[in-house]
Every structure is written in structure tokens, then in C-alpha cells.
Amino acid sequence: MTGLIRAEIRKMLPTNLWWALLLPVAPWSLLVAWYGTAIGRVDMIQEITGQALPTGLLAMSLATNYSTIFAALLGALVMTRESWHRTVTTTFLTANPRSSVLGAKLVVCLALAVVYGVVNAVFGFLGGFLGGTLSSGAGGVGGLDQWLLIGGAGVLATVLWALVGFGFGALVNNSVAAVLVLVFYKFMVDVLASVVLAGTELSWLSSYLPGAASNGIVGNLAVPMFISEVAGAREPIVPAQAFQQLHAIFGGSYGFSWWGSALVFAGYAALLCGGAMLLIRNREIH
């Protein structure tokens, strides 16, 4: 297995795939986090409380929710690029069993996803800090422990999205289709499904949708932290609507734990990767 992992590293690192997808993560996370400090009725909250706000906590959640798509695309293309270049046949014939090949690819993919998550956390922090410092509601990103918790949750969300992309790419076995479907689903289908479910008896289902669950990994940490910092001793009397409004913008669901969201999303990742393993073991290669 170690030899297969080394082989996958040698195949991956010289290519432009991993760094071409990594390069946009830094500016994207910084800009989204910066923008996140100016939305969500922050000015209104500041007027009510009369204090500076730790807007960076929310901004980092927003940055993560938008940046994880790059890890998903990485995972998908790790699996589909060999089919695109028609080298997968040689790989499977010279490195049996196929499950070991997939395991080696997965290890390399997850290692790179951790790098993506760390870059997102660092530049999300920077964007949240700059946006919070330069805005009228200056307050930075909260305490170091809070940033580490949200940053760590962001890395976890990034890794799980890489797993989802990996499994989906293996099932689809087509680079263009995998990229288009992942982008369309993350930014359109899941959002529309949540809107349709809102206000119905099935609204609770929206927390279990893949996109909402992934956003909740960070959002269900960031929003309660923000409310706690702003409200202080008054936190128990903060209305649920305040939480819900912030969750609607920055991700997550009121009353849903971050680890619950992580477990739900990990379940989707496990289903996709497990299904991919079973399918590829029996798929004909040409």
C-alpha cells in the first residue's frame, strides 16, 4: 500500500491539477470572508447592542461554505482524470487489487484536502479580520480558541467535500459531468430545495440535505459563538429569529449541533465512496 501511495504522489504532484484548484482558494476565501463582515444586518445589530461585533466568526463560516467546492472538484478529478487520459487501464492492471489503488488515491486526495482546508482557514481569518477591522462594526475574529475551532471545523468540512467529490467522480467516471453536477448541486439544487421546504411541515428535512449539512459543520459553531459574544449574559433571552436569520446567511440550522451536521454529511460521503468502491471493483476497463 505504501508503494501505491508513493506512486499516486508521484503522479499527482507534477501535474497542475492540485495547485490550479488550490490557487483560487486563497483569494476566494479572503474576499468572501471580507464580504461576510458587511452582511447579515450587522449594522442593525451594532446599533441595538452598541458594541463592536466579532463579525469575523461569521465571515469565516461563509468563506468555508463557498470554498469547499474546490476540494470537491479535486476529489472528482482525482478519480476521473485517468479515465480522461485513458491511463486507468494500465493502473488497474499493474496494481491489483483495485481497492488498493482507490485507497492510495483517496489518501493522497485527503492529504491535499487538508492543505485546501488550512489555506481556506488562514485566508478566511485574514478576510474576516480585515473586514471587521475596517468596517464600522469592528470586532475582528473573536478569540484564538474560537478561530481554531471554526478553522478546524472548516478543515473537516473541506475533507468531507473531497470525499464526496471522490466518490461521485468514481461513480460518474466523466470529468465534465462530475464538475458540472457538483457545482450545480452545491450552489443551486440544495439551496432551492431548502427554500421549497421552508415553511412546510417537512422543513426539518432541510438540515439533512447534503449542502445544508456541510454548511452546518461550521455555521452551527459560528452563529452560536457570535450570539454568545454579542449577547453575553442576555444570551438566554435572544429570540430564535436572530439565530435563524444568521443561519440563513452564514449556514447551519437553529438547534442543530455542528457534530450532528458533520455526521450527516459524513454519511453521504461514506455512501458515495462505498458505492464507488463496489462499482469499480466490477467495472469493465478498456
- pLDDT tens digit sequence for 39-58: 756 656 665 665 667 888 88
* pLDDT of res. 96: 65
CA distance 104 to 85: 19
Asked if 81 and 169 count as a contact pair (C-beta separation under 8 A), the reply is no
CA distance 76 to 60: 25
Spans of the chain below 70 pLDDT: 1, 3-4, 7, 14, 40-52, 83-99, 135-140, 235, 282-286
**Counted domains in the chain:** 1
Long-range own/partner contacts, residues 210-214 (CB < 8 A, 24 or more apart): 210/164, 210/185, 210/265, 210/268, 211/185, 211/186, 212/251, 212/252, 212/253, 212/261, 213/261, 213/262, 213/264, 213/265, 213/268, 214/65, 214/68, 214/157, 214/160, 214/161, 214/261, 214/265
CA distance 262 to 179: 23
Q: Give the residue numbers spanning the domain of 181.
A: 1-282
* pLDDT of res. 118: 96
Q: Which three cell numbers stand for residue 67?
A: 470554498
